[in-house]
Amino acid sequence: MSALWIAHVTVTDPDAYGRYAALAGPAIAKHGGTFIARGGRFVQLEGKERPRNVVARFPSLEAAETCYHSPEYQEALAHARGASERELVIVELTE
């Protein structure tokens, strides 16, 4: 079953976060991920509001998790740490 990678982000250092984004996109694509939402309008109904919301679809929960732990994504993530406050969850779809 496919899965969604859902990130809620507050960027605190746009330059460093830009370096993260430049590396993260190819790492996500390498593991079969495709973006279905990046930023854009949103309505916060509950919980802490984060101005940036990103959703990527992966072929499986395992593919998304493998991507997260991959050397390519970890290299990207090194730029996001200290440059953002974020939550990330992977959710398997019930198709």
Give the C-alpha separation, 38 to 34, whole Å: 11
Percent of the chain at pLDDT > 70 equals 100
What contacts 1, CB < 8 A, 6 or more positions away?
A: 60, 61, 92, 93, 94, 95
- Distance in angstroms (rounded) separating the CA atoms of residues 8 and 49: 8
Within 10 angstroms of residue 71's Cβ, the number of other Cβ atoms is 8
Q: Encode pLDDT of 38-47 as tens digits.
A: 989 999 999 9
**Domain-by-domain residue ranges, the chain?**
3-92
Q: For residue 29, what pLDDT is reported?
A: 98
Q: How far apart are alpha carbons 84 and 28 in whole angstroms? A: 19
Is 3-92 a domain of CATH 3.30.70.100? Answer: yes
- Residue 25 host element (H or E): helix 14-30
Q: What is the pTM of this model?
A: 0.90
Q: How confident is the model at residue 63 (pLDDT cuts 50, 70, 90)?
A: very high
Look at residue 58 in the predicted model and tell me its pLDDT.
98
Q: What is residue 95's predicted lDDT score, i.e. its pLDDT?
A: 74
